[in-house]
Amino acid sequence: MTEGSLDELVTLPLSAIRETAGALASRIVRTPSVDCLAPAITRRLASGTRLNMKLELFQHSGSFKARSVLAVILSLTPERRARGVAAVSAGNHAIATAWAARSLGVNARLVMFKTADPARIALVRSLGGEVVIAEDVAAAFDEAARLQAEEGRYLIHPFAGRFTSLGAATVATEWLEDVKDLDAVVISIGGGGLIGGVAAAIKQIKPSCLVFGVEPEGADSMARSLAAGAPVRLDHVETIADSLGAPYTLPYSFGLCARYVDDVVLVPDAAMIEGMRLYLDGFKLMCEPAGAATLAATLGPLRDRLQGARVGVLVCGSTIELSSFLRLIRS
């Protein structure tokens, strides 16, 4: 991109990342980083490749999003917190918002789609979130706008914004403290808030470490945006990985990706399902498709490029319901 372009204007200073990590440290789980020794996986790697897994599925609320939502709410003034927060989501973001809000004593109203998994809706309610069911995406965002205008609630975006990416960046600070010899990391992309934060931290702490993103073939908004040099909107999204199905990118997360991410690759749904099977067979982990996407990329389009490297894959979450998990791995 040209001088003065978006990727050069968007920054996430390491000092701010470390400050956020300090603020979150006592409130989140320092998730484990585990070397992969499962034969079913290691025999599929290129010669000499060593795999490390950052198990963020063990985070509060079942995904990395707890970090981002906490960072956003902690950034609000007491007056803003007193008015409550709102979010629009079919799953992970609503669960994380309900958990984070309850942990900070903040009221949360979550607008969820009528097609959302009933188990996820029940989980949000069990965490203290007030659920509003919307007929479709347009109706959901209309309701969120009403909650902002009439109740003064702060709307927490699922992937865009400085504090969202600052929270996500704390994944990387932990990871590099625990595993200092990483040559590359592979991160799933929904809207780009996660990988934007992780990449910003990694490139400022260990610039030689490569950062690869992975998207589903049927939801490749970031890959298309980076190719176009600007955020784009997809006409259609089709993937089993609902948490990676953002139909568009937004300037802030796009700018972070354009500045710090080395490359983005695509994987088919079938490869994510195979990754889910491998995690189940090798570690008895019930991983959602988004969490398995990084393994799918490492064993697929990135396999030869990562030969001989010490590679980290982020297992970003597991809020999938049992019947859905079984249906997918049996398909």
The string of DSSP letters for 188-230 reads: E-SSSHHHHHHHHHHHHH-TTSEEEEEEETT--HHHHHHHHTS
What is the per-residue pLDDT across 79-109, written as a single tens digit (0 to 9) for each?
A: 999 999 999 987 899 999 999 999 999 999 9
SS3 136: coil
Mean of pLDDT values over 56-80: 96
Answer yes or no: same fold for 6-63+161-329 and 65-155: yes
Q: Which CATH architecture has domain 6-63+161-329?
A: 3-Layer(aba) Sandwich (3.40)
Mean of pLDDT values over 161-172: 97
Nearest to 29 by CA among 65, 68, 2, 58: 58
Do 23 and 74 contact (CB within 8 A), yes or no? yes
Question: What are the sequence ranges of the domains in the chain?
Answer: 6-63+161-329, 65-155
Mean of pLDDT values over 262-289: 96
- Side chain identity, residue 212: F
- Residue 197 banded pLDDT, cuts 50, 70, 90: very high
d(CA 31, CA 175): 9
pLDDT of residue 9: 57
- 6: which 2 tokens? 């978006």
Mean of pLDDT values over 173-190: 97
Positive/negative CA dihedral, 215, 65, 32, 203: positive
What is the per-residue pLDDT across 42-57, written as a single tens digit (0 to 9) for each?
A: 999 999 999 999 999 9
What is the per-residue pLDDT across 13-48, written as a single tens digit (0 to 9) for each?
A: 999 999 999 999 999 999 999 999 999 999 999 999
SS3 290: helix
Q: How far apart are the first and last CA of the chain?
A: 42
In sequence order, what are the residues at sequence separation of 6 or more whose Cβ sits closer than 8 angstroms to the Cβ of residue 230?
6, 254
- 224: which 2 tokens? 């298309």
Sheet containing strand 210-216, edge to edge, reads 33-35, 50-55, 310-315, 184-188, 210-216, 263-267
What is the per-residue pLDDT across 142-152, written as a single tens digit (0 to 9) for each?
A: 999 999 999 99
pLDDT of residue 3: 32
Position 245 pLDDT exceeds 60: yes
Pick the CATH number of 65-155 from 3.40.50.1000, 3.40.50.2300, 3.40.50.1100, 3.40.1280.10: 3.40.50.1100
Position 63 pLDDT exceeds 60: yes
Do 314 and 198 contact (CB within 8 A), yes or no? yes
Bridge-based pairing of strands 50-55 and 33-35 is antiparallel
Position 10 pLDDT exceeds 80: no
- Residue 119 banded pLDDT, cuts 50, 70, 90: confident
pLDDT of residue 318: 87
Distances (CA, A) of 75 to 49, 155, 165: 40, 13, 13
Do 156 and 73 contact (CB within 8 A), yes or no? yes
- Side chain identity, residue 185: V
d(CA 124, CA 221): 28
- Side chain identity, residue 28: I
Mean of pLDDT values over 287-299: 96
Position 251 pLDDT exceeds 80: yes
Question: How many alpha carbons lie under 13 Å from residue 298 in its C-beta half-sphere?
Answer: 34
